Amino acid sequence: MKKILAPVITFLLLTTTQFLYAQKPKPPIMGWSSWNHFRVNIDEKMIREQADALISSGMYDAGYRFINIDDGYFGGRDANGKLLINKSKFPSGMKALADYIHGKGLKAGIYTDAGMNTCGSIWDKDSLGVGSGIYGHWANDCKLFFKDWGYNFLKVDWCGGEKQHLDEATEYLKIIDTVRSIDPDIVFNVCRWKFPGEWAVKKADSWRISGDIRETFKSILGIIDLNAGLYRYSSAGHYNDMDMLQVGQGMSYDEDKSHFSMWCMLNSPLLAGNDLRNMTKETIEILTNKDVIALNQDKGFAQARRISKDGDIEVWVKQLGNGDQKAVAILNRGEDINTYNLDLAKLGLDSRYKMRDLWLHKEIGKLDDNKSFTIPKHGIVVLRLYQAK
């Protein structure tokens, strides 16, 4: 009987675990982060205004939920090692700020470094970040962040860890286990600036795959290329993080559209990095394009794959979870306008699909070899393919 029961119990445990996991799929998070635009020059008034603007701009209605406070809030540590905050910048305290964010129906994110010192202390000369990293203070800092202050997201950087020559997996897994013991629903981001290794892919909610993003199309293309072969590590609730968005930070309209589209196609977290208080209509239009956002939040959780490269034109295909549907992105990396003619056989597609253009927001007919697209310099066409009834 024991020989029969053992495999039965194992089967039940496995199927139960799989069932429970399937009940709680997590799409990539959407929100805003302070680093790209403000670096360490942050304060509570500005953070509150970003939360207000996220609501008033229509971004909340489009699905954005997180307000993430990055480096720059630290005030060093006291004689007992307790983490302090910069009271001149955050006079009301970090709990009051989280409460304000939560009061807007949003979630609040916080930052630390796996080492002793923060990135801001090293690169932005923020002396109060010296000794403010989580190294040696895992339990107390996590209790502070999540039990006392009530934050919902943690980004863990690596500047201090790198300077100390720490072992990545050892340090990050120690922090992750501490966070999960407090609240398994905390969203955890490994900010190692390259794919960290397979140890992270089922432990963290997301992991950075590149150095810091810049507000240039060259930077955008470089990050896309780094992620092209990492699709096999992406799964429901665990994503390749291509860094915070640079939409509205100085690139052209077409470059911003391409940038945003590819972050959605490749299932990166969508964290706006601009000043939400001063957005153009074009920037709001891009960040709130629900047709394109739906690809990022799709319940199939599949990362797009590059299936064709012809000169400056690339075609990426993403399998969607809603029946037999796909998303197709046609990206022009070149410096000139390009015309692209569909070749269904080359793309592994067939004519049973109809097409919706997700930037024109309209149906554009049946998929066939006669269809061509004129794509501007650094521009993109994004299509949703669905079966004709």
Question: How far apart, in Å, are the Cα atoms of 142 and each of 67, 137, 281, 379?
Answer: 18, 8, 39, 43
**212 flagged as catalytic:** yes
Catalytic-role residue among 52, 99, 212, 291: 212
Residue 287's closest CA among 264, 305, 265? 264
Rounded to whole angstroms, how far apart are CA atoms 3 and 192? Answer: 46
**324 flagged as catalytic:** no
Catalytic-role residue among 157, 205, 243, 298: 157
Sign of CA dihedral 137, 71, 233, 165: negative
Name the helix (H) or strand (E) containing 380: strand 380-387
The residues that bridge with 340 in the sheet, in sequence order, are 373
Provide the token pair at 173. 């897994």
**DSSP character at residue 27:** P
Cβ neighbours of residue 334 closer than 8 Å, sequence gap 6 or more: 311, 312, 313, 377, 378
- Own/partner long-range contacts of 75-78 (Cβ < 8 Å, ≥24 apart): 75/128, 75/132, 76/128, 76/130, 76/131, 76/132, 77/131, 77/132, 77/137
Crossing angle for the helix pair 44-56 and 94-103, to the nearest 10 degrees: 10
The residues that bridge with 33 in the sheet, in sequence order, are 68
Any idea which residues carry the catalytic annotation?
157, 212
